Each structure stands twice: as structure tokens, then as C-alpha cells.
A and B are shown apart, each in its own frame.
Chain A
Amino acid sequence: MTTDLAKHDPEAPEPLVPDALELEGEARIEGRTPLQLAWAKLRRDKVAMVSLVVIVIIIVLALAAPLVASIVGHGPDDQYRQAGLTPAGLPKPPTGQFIMGTDDLGRDLFVRVIYGSRISLLVGVLSTLIAVAVGVVIGIVAGYFGGIVDTVLARLIDTVLSIPFLLAAIAIVSISGPSLTVTVIVIAFFSWSSVARIVRGQVLSIREREYVEAARSLGASDRRIMFVDILPNVLAPVIVYTTLLIPISIVSEATLSFLGLGVPPPTATWGGMLDGSLNYYRVAYWYLLFPGLALLITTLAFNLFGDGVRDAFDPRSDRLFATESETEDEKK
């Protein structure tokens, strides 16, 4: 579509192509950041935009969970032994009163699914943020300093990557006892290493660039070089990986809760509900179906959105908005 010149040199300036095609009319003095370019690209990605809308709806529902509960009139932990259970003491199918049916204790499944999203999002986002923060710092430090620092940190990364998640999680939780905090920490602990590895690889190539040397010749401190000069240049893969790590963390949380190692009952979690449904799914399909659907829709939305983000940052997926130096390393 655009000139072939850009193909020869990925570092070549993109001479005002976005300008000319964006048709913003007036001359723009302010350059657009790669983030802005990526966002412009993302906005035209229908799948990603639909996923984003779904994610926003889930977040709004999670935030408004108490409101939903008060509208429906059922708390998440309220047990309706009379109205919510059949005479035989089994869960009730979806009705006007309980629109997703009830669980084995006569609780409103709809309200619990909504409340479950709070835990999923909280754990998913929180543990991802911790993992990314730790991973970025360790990755930059390892890549920038190299030598013995790098050797030690790289081995540490490899070691963490080689620990089996579930076995270690079971061991840790059986010592500490299950809680929200432990769940977040356990998931973060097993996620930071892949972020660190990606960042380290990028930094290894970036630290040899002349602008890093230029910063050093100006007398910039190591910390300044790492976080002012290098960090912005590894941000793109980090953002991509962050959006893909959130659904993974959500599933991990569900897995832990399913095994009784996550957030302990009676707190409503999707994994916990799936666990509870196992004894009843023959007679009460809704008990299994709705928490499962909620989990599926959430992770799917995050994953599709993450794919969109990745494409938006990938200069090769669309020459028109090629951002500058998303290097080959990213794909590897």
C-alpha cells in the first residue's frame, strides 16, 4: 500500500505517512506516540473492539455487583432453603425469581456469578500487574548489566519456569492455608519469569544501541538509562504480554479455587462454583453452565483483545501504521 522503501530498513523514518492518510486536516506539530498509533490501529480491529466492549461490561458488572444484588434482592451468600431448593433439597432451575437458578445451598446463582467476576478480575489483574512489574524490573536489570548479574537472574528465571505450577501451588497453599492474598502471590510468582525473559531478550539488543551510549556519555545514571531510555523501548511487547497474561491468571485462579486452594468459601468464585457443581450437574445443568460460561466469555474476551493488541503493535501486520522498532525478537 505504501512505499516499499520502508521495507528495506525497519529503522527508517516513516515519512509522514500517518499524517497524510489520517487526513486530520491541519498540520500537526505534536508527533504521535507509538501507543497512539497502536490505538488508532486497534480501533479498526472489530474483533478486538467487541472484546473490549465485553470486557468493559464485565468490569462494570463486577463493580456494580452490590447494586445488582440489591435489585434482585438476593445477597451472594444468602441461602434460600425454602424458595431456592426443591422439596427434595436439590438446586432449582432458572425461574423468574432465580434467573440462573440456584446452587445446592439455595443461593442465587446469578448474583454469585456476578460476584465471582470480582474475584476473577481482582486476582487476574492484580497478580498480572505484580508479575509484570517484577518481571520488567528483573528483565531490564539482567539484560542491562549482563555478566554475573545476568547469569544469576537468567538461571533464576529458568528455575522458576521449570517449577510445576500446580504441585508447587498445592504445597504452598497447604502450608499457608488458602486466602485471596496467597492466591494472588502464588499466581504472580509463577508468572513474572516469562515476562522477565521477554524483557531481558529485548534489553540485550537495545543496550547496544547508540542512544544508550549517548545517554551514558551525558553522564546518565544506570537507573535513568534503564527506566527512561530503555523501558519505553520494551513497552510494546510488555503491554501485549500483559493483556495475554490476564486471562491466564484468571484461569489459574479458577483452577486453584476449583481445587479448593484458591479463595476459600463462602466467597463466590467461578472456580469454586464449578467445584460445587460437580455433584449436581446431572440434575442441575445450570449450576455448571453459568459459571463455566462466565469464565469462558471472560477469558475469550481478554484473549481476543490481547491478540488485537499484539497485531496493533506489530509493524508487519499493517504497513500503513508501521511503528518504528518492534524488532524481530518480539516474534521469537
Chain B
Amino acid sequence: MKATDDAVAPLLEVTDVRKHFPIGRRPLFGGAQPVLKAVDGVSLAVRPGETLGLVGETGCGKSTLARCMVRLYDLTSGSVNFNGSDISTLSRGDLRPLRREMQVMFQDPYGSLNPRRRVGSIIGDPFTIHGVAEGDERKRKVQDLMELVGLNPEHYNRFPAEFSGGQRQRIGIARALALNPKLVVCDEPVSALDVSIQAQVINLLAELQERLDLTYVFISHDLSVVRHVSDRIAVMYLGKIVEIAGVDDLHDHTRHPYTQALLSAVPSADPDAVAARERIVLTGDLPSPANPPTGCRFHPRCPKAQQICVTDDPELVSRLGDVAVHQVACHFPLADGELLTVSKPAIADIDPDLGFDATAAAKGTSS
């Protein structure tokens, strides 16, 4: 495990970042533009050399947060500090030199490579854009990169369509690493790949981190993958971080009911462990981020929720005497060894805005 002490200045620090997307039309008379709160007040820091995992179910805002981190999106509010300087309000032109230091790896190995361009020119793009190398030098550098990520440099002139999914993801890695970045944000880099290929790509990423001293933000909805690669894990729910901790801490001292539910859903290869463990199936769906629940966003689905959860939004702080880096946003964090036994929501919360009756839904699923 790499250094996770607080003494090191973070490479990337996001503070209270919000990203709201306008949805639909603004009402003609009065009324505010309806917005979808994809990311709603997230603060976290990434230290040099570590891998920060970011997990959460589909639609919780992971990818939006990732795009905010590297300023592919403009922020609604909040700030992003990269390498000591505030980049949250820089214009695209001012961001350009910084693009060399932070790169993104995309999820879809089919969609992230231009089908009409040759692999050599795709991987060489960073060199051209930043005026680093031209002509033969560029070609040599590209072929070095292809070798680095385990591609045949002779396939320089092929089109992306001629590669398999895993190979395409290697092309994406080569492109991201071309300019020797400090930070690589991996947006579900393996979720579109077969399991056997996933392992290859993950091992390649780990190996490259070692060799090139990279810092990763690793996004996935697959907790087992994240656990394998990360030093720390942040769990997101509906645009907010509900728990953040070191990998072992998160696993051994799970505090947030949502985290426990998520962990219990990870498939295990050990049949005894599966038998010993009760899987917590949460009822209800992820509420709409356009109209999130009041207070703690998890309360309509939480078995431990009480009245305060409906009214007060819990802060993300260290609780129950945990180390400072283990923070949880919950009024009633789970004690060590405490297991959720029921998966029904504790509050019969009929929220007219949501049009969703949690108890009725719970009955519906249990019967």
C-alpha cells in the first residue's frame, strides 16, 4: 500500500464540487430551470502515487465527477485544485498545457477511438496537439508506446476496427500515457471487457503505475475490481460521497449501510463465505437526481433511517473513533460487526414529490 498520510500535498483536490445539468425547458413564466443534480457537493483529495477508487451504482454521478475533475465539464460550483493551482475557472485555452499532466481513459473501447483514423495517428494525437514530436520522431514514439502497452508496433497503420476490445483499451492506455501525465482518470476502463481481459488490463495499469509513477482515479461499478486496484475507496450515492476509507478499513469497518449493502453484493469465489453471509438487497430504485430526497439521500431505502435522516443531511466526517481518513456521511453509522438484518426501509416515507411509497414498495417485493 502506498503512502496515504496527510503530510503529502494532494495532487488533485476537489472541494464542494457541484454539477447540475439543465433538463427540459425553463418554464415560460416564473420558476427556475429544472436541473439534474449529477454531482452535488463532493470534496475529496487524491495524493500523488495512490489509486483512489470511486464506486457507486449506475447513475450515481461517478463519471460526471470524473469529467469535472479534469474539467471536461464546467463546474456549477465548487473548485478543483490540480498540482497546487486552481483549475476550476480556467478557460479551455489555459487548460491546454495542463492536459499534458492529466489524462482520461474512457470506458468504451469501441466508442473512444475514432473509427476513421489509423491507430498510429490516434496514439500520436497528443504529440501533434501539444507540438511535442513530428514525422519520424512521432512515429518512433508511438511505436515505443505501443510496445509499452503490449501492442505490436507493426500494427501502426491499422484501424481500430481491426483490434479486439482488450487491444483497443490498450490503445486508449497508450494514448493517455503518451505525454507522461501525472494523473490518469480511468472511467470504468474495464467494465466493457471480458473478465479474463479485465485482469490483463488491470495488471497492465498496475505495472505502468509502478514504472511511470502514476496517480489513478479509478472509477467502476464493480466493487471487486476497485478493491483489487485501489488504495482508498470512495463510495458515491446519488451525487454525494457517503463513505471514504482505505480499502481494508472500508471492508473491515464498514460504517455506511449503503456501503455494506454494496459490499454484500460482491460475488465471492468462496462458497462458505457466500453461505455465511447474508446478501442485503435494497428495496426501491435509485431516486431521481433531479429531485433527490431531503436530508440523507439514502433515507428512503435505509433500514436504519430515523426522523433526523429525513430532515438533516449528515456530514462526511470521521465517526465512531475511526482514523481521520475514514469518513462516513451517516447519522447512525454501523458499529464494527453490526450487520443489517432487514433490508426494508425503516421509514414509511410517503414523499409526494417522489410519488414513491417506500413501504408499499417494500411489501410488494417481500410478498
Interface residues of A (CB under 8 A from B): 11-14, 16, 29-31, 33-34, 209-211, 213-221, 224, 228-229, 232-233, 235, 324-325
Contacts and interface: CB of A to CB of B under 8 A. Distances in A.
B154 A29 contact: yes
Q: Closest 4 A-B residue pairs measured CB to CB?
A: A219-B99, A232-B116, A210-B111, A210-B112
Interface stretch (B124-132, B203-211, B222-230, B358-366): B124-132
Contacts of A235: 116
B33 interface: no
A189 to B, nearest CB: 30
Contacts of B162: 13, 16, 31
B58 interface: no
A217 B70 contact: yes
B89 interface: no
B157 A30 contact: yes
A228 B128 CA distance: 12
B108 A210 contact: yes
A29 B106 contact: no
A14 B115 CA distance: 12
B95 interface: yes
Contacts of A220: 125, 129
Nearest to A216: B72
A12 B161 CA distance: 8
Contacts of B2: none
B159 interface: yes
A224 B97 CA distance: 16
Contacts of A325: 115
B130 to A, nearest CB: 7
A31 B116 contact: no
B149 interface: no
Given A31-B159, A219-B129, A211 B118 contact: no
Interface in B173-220: 175
B116 A218 contact: no
Q: Give the most central of A11, A12, A16: most B CB within 10 Å.
A: A11
Contact of B161 (A13, A30, A213): A13
B158 A214 contact: no
B111 to A, nearest CB: 4
Per DSSP, chain B at the interface is loop
Interface in B53-104: 70, 72, 95-97, 99-100, 103-104
B104 A217 contact: yes
Given A11-B111, A213-B112, 10 more contacts: A11-B115, A13-B162, A31-B159, A34-B116, A210-B111, A211-B112, A217-B70, A217-B72, A218-B103, A324-B116
B158 A218 contact: no
B125 A11 contact: no
B111 A219 contact: no
Interface size class on chain B is 35 or more
B164 interface: yes
18 contacts: A12-B110, A13-B164, A16-B162, A29-B155, A31-B118, A31-B157, A31-B161, A31-B162, A210-B111, A210-B112, A216-B72, A217-B70, A217-B72, A218-B103, A219-B96, A219-B99, A235-B116, A324-B115
A219 B100 contact: yes
B164 A213 contact: no
B126 to A, nearest CB: 5
Interface in B104-140: 104, 106-108, 110-118, 125-126, 129-130
Contacts of A233: 114-116
Contact of B110 (A11, A214, A228): A11
Contacts of B154: 29
B332 interface: no
Given A215-B125, A217-B70, A31 B158 contact: yes
A212 B106 CA distance: 11
B112 A219 contact: no
A138 B95 CA distance: 27
B163 interface: yes
Contacts of B161: 13-14, 31, 324
Contacts of A216: 72
A145 to B, nearest CB: 13
A219 B118 CA distance: 19
A211 B114 contact: yes
Given A16-B162, A31-B158, A214 B117 contact: no
Nearest to B161: A13
Contacts of A232: 114, 116-117
A221 B107 CA distance: 23
A138 to B, nearest CB: 21
Nearest to A16: B162
B114 to A, nearest CB: 4
Contacts of A31: 118, 157-159, 161-162
Contact of A209 (B96, B111, B118, B160): B111
A33 to B, nearest CB: 8
Contacts of B96: 219
B129 A214 contact: no
B163 A13 contact: yes
Nearest to A219: B99
Contacts of B97: 219
Given A31-B118, A210-B106, A213-B106, A218 B129 contact: yes
